[in-house]
Amino acid sequence: MGTGGIGEFLREQRRNAQLSLRQLAEAAGVSNPYLSQIERGLRKPSAEILQQLAKALRISAETLYVRAGMLEERAEAEIDVTAAILADPALTEQQKQALLQIYTSFRAQNGSTPDSGGATGATP
């Protein structure tokens, strides 16, 4: 799903939560114009911004990551690990992606993810 997909989904979630654009922006710690651009599909939010929005909307950050195309839908145990990696503010985006590739590769080697499309065979 593209950038517009996450924006539409965020708008729907915001409306369901009965929050104005301004209220959600304030709760998530982002600017009103930036959130508006995300909702209109003009900007692509980072994992950190999605995490802040998820917290403000009281929904799963992993749901937003999937909608934004950052993650494929995964098994429950894998979701927890993946969400934890993506949510860690101490890691750079490059480090997060490297960890996710290694994790996916190990799971594929162990037969835990039969359709793990992201496995790259990365070695530590």
The CATH architecture assigned to 3-67 reads Orthogonal Bundle (1.10)
Angle between helices 32-39 and 3-16 (to 10 degrees): 120
Q: How many CA atoms lie within 13 A of 122 on its CB side?
A: 14
Mean pLDDT value across residues 35-60: 92
First to last CA, the chain: 30
Whether the Cβ atoms of residue 72 and residue 118 lie closer than 8 Å to each other: yes
| pLDDT number for residue 77 | 54
Mean pLDDT value across residues 31-39: 96
Selection from 33, 39, 51, 31 nearest residue 4 by Cα? 39
Where is average pLDDT lowest: 9-18, 33-42, 82-91? 82-91
Q: Report CA-CA distances (Å) from 31 to 5, 28, 53.
A: 20, 9, 12
Q: What is the pLDDT of residues 62-101, one digit of tens each?
A: 888 888 888 776 555 556 787 788 878 888 888 988 998 8
Query: Highest mean pLDDT range out of 10-14, 64-68, 81-85, 117-121?
Result: 10-14
